Amino acid sequence: MFSFPHPLYSIVDTLSDPKLSYVGLAQAMLDAGVRLLQLRVKDQSTGRFVEIARAVKAAADGAQAQLIINDRADIAKLIDAAGVHLGQEDLPVAAAREILGPTRIIGFSTHNVAQAEAASREGIADYIGFGPIYPTTSKQRPDPVQGLDRLRQIRSRVTLPIVAIGGITAKTMPEVLSAGADAVAMISEIVRADDVSTKVRALLELATASQGRAHPIPKG
């Protein structure tokens, strides 16, 4: 069964500041100790996405880290990434599994209890994303805020690993992990930092300490 290498799920995304470099962001995260990261590229051509993905994959390989490609199973296969993360309107999970085979990682975003339970019953995805936990500015049309009580409800019903996302900060990370998330995803909190490596290193330490204090959640 898949498990996150650490309770911080870093996302490489430059939308909040187009002046940032995808490779520079990824390298800063990797230098801080991240061993799994997701590349999220929006509003770029497929050719440009592939170019960026190959460069970030080279950086990840240099750090012996896993790279997850957002949305595009075809690009994940093309560059030999560790896997793909799909949204509700992307390629169906079953189709992505056909493309990527049995050993690649597939994550799947869910935004309510019914979607999370359906993903768990289908038994194809390796982990689910759930959120937004709090209001978020990382999406133009965010889904309704779910909150910690809904996260706890899903944790009690789903055995798949859960990465929580949406408006999470260093201040709220401990309560999100305590509510049952196996990992937390952040974009703005990381990419807007003055020193990304220093920020990520501090978040990794906080997440690991917080997860150690969290109530153990029965699995399966």
Tell me the catalytic residues.
40, 109, 139
Q: What are phi and psi of 67, to 5 degrees?
A: -115, 125
62 secondary structure, DSSP code: H
Q: How far is CA 61 from the centre of its chain?
A: 18
Look at residues 116, 132, 127 and name the one whose alpha carbon lies nearest to residue 66. 127
Q: Cα(175)–Cα(177) distance, rounded to whole angstroms?
A: 5
Using the CB atoms, write b or e for 37-61: b if 16+ within 10 Å: bbbbbeeeeeeebbebbebbbebbe
Q: Report the b/e string of 70-98 with b at 16+ CB within 10 A.
A: bbbbbbbbebebbbbbbeeebbebeebbe
Q: Which of these, 28, 2, 21, 19, lies nearest to 10 by C-alpha position?
A: 28
Rounded to 10°, the helix 22-31/196-213 angle is 50
